[in-house]
Amino acid sequence: MLDTRAWKYRAFLRYLRFFKYAAFSPLRGEFLESYYVLMRYLDDIADGDLPLPAGYSNESQYIAEKISFSFNPVNPRDEVDDLMMYCFELAKKFGEDFQEETKDILESLLFDAKRRDKLIIFPQEELARHFHVLDIRGTIRATLKIFKDNPEKYRILEPLGMASRYQFDLEDFESDIAAGFVNISREDCEHFGITPEDWHESSSLKVKAWLHYHAKQGIALLEEHHRLLPKGNFSLFERLVFRLVYENPARKVFLNILSETKQETKPITMTEEKLTNAPVGNFHLSKWFLDFTGESGEAMIFYSAKLTWHRWSASYTSWLDYNPGSRVEVKSRFRKVNIPQLKGTQITWNDSIFGISGIWKSAAPMIEARIYNSEEGFLDWKCFQPASKVRLQLNGRILEGSGYAEQLILTVPPWKIPMDELRWGRFVSNDNNLVWIELREKTRYKWLWINSDKISDCTIEDDRILIPERNLVLHLDRGVTLESEKKISSVVGKVIRYIPGFNKVMPIGFLMADEIKWLSRGELQNNSSTIVSGRAIHELVKFNVQ
């Protein structure tokens, strides 16, 4: 779990370890830690965040079998069964039975397993029933039992449980949609005028209105929790757990969403559909980047983008093709542009004019960041696949290798973002992946992830990435230059045929930026010893060139 989903579990496991030694008997603490790991592992299987164990046709079959085993825990089939039996045996030692709570939680996971990848819209009543079973009756009853408290007090904690559910619905909205889960009720879709097209567009004002509304509801639920809490006569330690583990993370998410959507939302009705997706500040760019590297040294980059400015728009696609021993070939056009299709953890893209189609299957958890935010708009970066397994079909040939996939959403003109230099790159090997971004002006703003784990302290250069806290260095040989040109000027020179006057609003320093993109052999080293080798694609863009 820490290797693959550290961003999701590290803080919670740290709390569990603290509680284990701070307040519980070692027996109850051991149960808490083991039971949490058991349920989080099964949740990752149901959500598709971990591969389905061998011998099962689908996730639903796997979870259903675990439900059956929880009623009759004999003859374990795998390590999950062993861990479940271990948890039940620990519980018996301190006089508790958790089979009913386990059934509640697993049945809610089964609901998720059955709807994954289907993008089904459910009525509010059905969503609430499953969420209530998971977050309140199952999880909170189990927690109260561990605290030696009356599990029927869970009803007092219902507002906290619902607030926690709202937190995850809002925080994980985009990743849930990517995995095929729609946690917006049918009633809310109708009220806010939300359509399936809105789900995949982070700038949709309809979705932002829904997020804003539910964040306000979440704050109200937390206030109701504080009103009811004294009725439970909970211990000081229980109240500390409720605050640290449930309330504080939820409140932080709600306040962040309210702050981010404050200026961008207003009540939306079905009659306002014509205006709700208008780009912020009359500028909107959605840009996909997909790449591929093969075992024979070949590399390909695919772009698919749509730019909207005032009432004009232009779509653009390009294909960069490199083979060792030959020059780089680039094909591009502004008509009949296909957008990559995201479904769950898989992206498909095809272009009949180029004669190519491909499937990118995720090999690492999604990462994302808001790179820039202002009153005029924002830059959202969504790396759906920091590492991919790629299969391409090119004029009858099949190519297989590694890859990467991301999408940029800009609602502010990029020349408004303070930067003199931009560095970006990705490195993929069999076991590790890195992604980095740096904006340099007076200050360096840096983002770096290793295996989807965000790193705060790093140095980003064109030929190396230094990571002191991990004692790691990624060396990049910059062996192949894929692009070296004033690319923005080149593309804009063609865009103005579709968006008149666009070049006139762009500062000359931005328009004439120098861009260079490399294909590198990368070596990730620890104490000068190479851990892994792989391939990197990375770039440097210099603005305001004198």
How do residues 10-33 score in pLDDT, each as one tens digit? Answer: 655 665 666 655 555 778 888 888
Give the residue extent of every domain in the chain: 1-99, 117-277, 280-542
Residue 265 has pLDDT above 50, yes or no: no
Q: For the residues 266-291, what does the mean pLDDT come to?
A: 58
pLDDT in tens, 253-263: 999 999 888 75
Q: Which of 291, 303, 294, 301 is nearest to 398 (CA)?
A: 294
pTM of the model: 0.52
End-to-end Cα separation, the chain, in angstroms: 49
The answer to whether the Cα torsion of 204, 206, 209, 213 is positive or negative is negative
Two tokens at 416? 């408004």
Answer for the pair 529, 539: CB distance below 8 angstroms, yes or no: no
Question: CATH fold of 117-277, please?
Answer: Farnesyl Diphosphate Synthase (1.10.600)
Question: Could you say which DSSP state residue 126 is in?
Answer: H
Q: How many CB atoms lie within 10 A of CB 509?
A: 14
Question: Could you say which DSSP state residue 133 is in?
Answer: I
Q: 3-state class of 394 per DSSP? A: strand
Task: Give the DSSP H/E element, type plus range, for residue 127.
Answer: helix 124-132
Q: Which residue has the higher pLDDT, 18 or 174?
A: 174
Question: Could you say which DSSP state residue 337 is in?
Answer: P
Task: Give the DSSP H/E element, type plus range, for residue 145.
Answer: helix 139-146
Angle, CA 508 vertex, CA 502 and CA 509 arms, to 5°: 130
pLDDT in tens, 425-448: 999 999 899 999 999 998 999 999
Instruction: Report pLDDT for 117.
Output: 86
Two tokens at 146? 């561990």
